[in-house]
Amino acid sequence: MAITAPQRRSSALTRNRLPSFAPWAALVVALIVGAAISSLIGFNPFGWGIFAAITFTIVFVAWSAAVEGPRKAKDKLATCLVAAAFLIALLPLISVIWTVLVEGLKGLLTPGFLGTSMNGVSGIQDNQSVNEGTKVLGGIYHSLMGTLLITLWATIISVPIGLLTSIYLVEYGNDGRLSRAITFFVDVMTGIPSIVAGLFAAAFFATILGPGTKTGFVAAVALSVLMIPVVVRSSEEMLRIVPNELREASYALGVRKWRTILMIVIPTAISGIASGVTLAIARVIGETAPILVTAGFATKINLNVFADWMSSLPTFIYTQILNPTSPSNPDPSTQRAWGAALVLIILVMLLNLAARLIARVFAPKTGR
């Protein structure tokens, strides 16, 4: 039977090309060979994955070189390397999330963990929970509220300052000496170690209110020192990408500059600004050193950021691991620390979701 023209064209197009099942076949071979090699040196899932990835790359690229030629083989080698780099970068994240979930759920699901504090909890209760099998007492309510209040006040301080600074740099600075100086010092502040910000706030309030002043507000000031550069840089970049045509159209209608910035520029860039603020909050919500220096550590509930020591989730985790409530039985303290770490990650996730919601609500509406 004679071959028709469409069949000849189809044959020409598919000639010297790997079949569609080639990646799956190479993967099966790689898994078998990887398991065999890993078994020779002591089988473990991580080694199996490494050897399987190397084998898959060799088999797939060699197969492509034999069928498709060196040009296609180089392309597939580059694809394999990019995919491997992505997986290597993803593995630590997956490992951290999995470990925190497995260990943290034990503490998070403990009755009263979110609604009680560590006030009155001592090594006696921890020893009883280990020896008698009773539930672990003590929770993170005081630290959770401390984290929320300190971060809230740090945001209240830093967001207006950072946003107004970025507005000046973009709308009024005109690349003058003052704007260049502000940009330079903002870049310097971005790299300041967190402990330096804590020492600055502690020294500043010690000068004003006396030595040993430790409150939640002092910690908020220390965190705002870390937040302001992030807010400034992210907001500045978002404001700069707002098209000048929007500003010029507003000026042409006789709208004043401040109103143009308030009603046109900021709403247009609100999505990126919200993301920058969220990034700044996520940057400081897990800080431990500046809060230890400025707010100390407390085991009782304190909702007044202007008086007395105040605990936070990072300092709670730090003290529970470094100084267990019962040194002879540290497991309850470790359980509380992992539970607090899981709550901290959940808070960061909720902040990201809130930023996306704010950006969607306040972003300018588009349409025909």
At 119-146, the pLDDT tens digits run 888 888 888 888 877 788 888 999 999 9
**Number of residues in the chain:** 368
- Tell me which amino acid residue 195 is: I
- Taking only the tens place, the pLDDT of each residue in 200-209 is 999 999 998 8
User: pLDDT at position 125, please?
Assistant: 84
The tens digit of pLDDT for each residue in 263-274 reads 889 888 888 888
pLDDT of 105 strictly over 70? yes
Stretch among 35-49, 149-163, 204-218, 341-355 having the lowest mean pLDDT: 35-49
In the block, residue with structure tokens 């790689």: 30
- Going by pLDDT thresholds of 50, 70 and 90, the confidence category of residue 223 is very high
- CA 256/CA 253 separation, integer angstroms: 9
Instruction: Retrieve residue 321's tokens.
Output: 């691991």
Contact between residue 227 and residue 155 where contact means Cβ atoms under 8 Å apart: yes
Considering only CA atoms, which of 336, 314, 278, 300 is closest in space to residue 198? 314
Q: How far is CA 46 from each of CA 35, 52, 242, rounded to the nearest angstrom?
A: 11, 10, 47
pTM given for the model: 0.80
Are the beta carbons of 148 and 302 closer than 8 angstroms? no
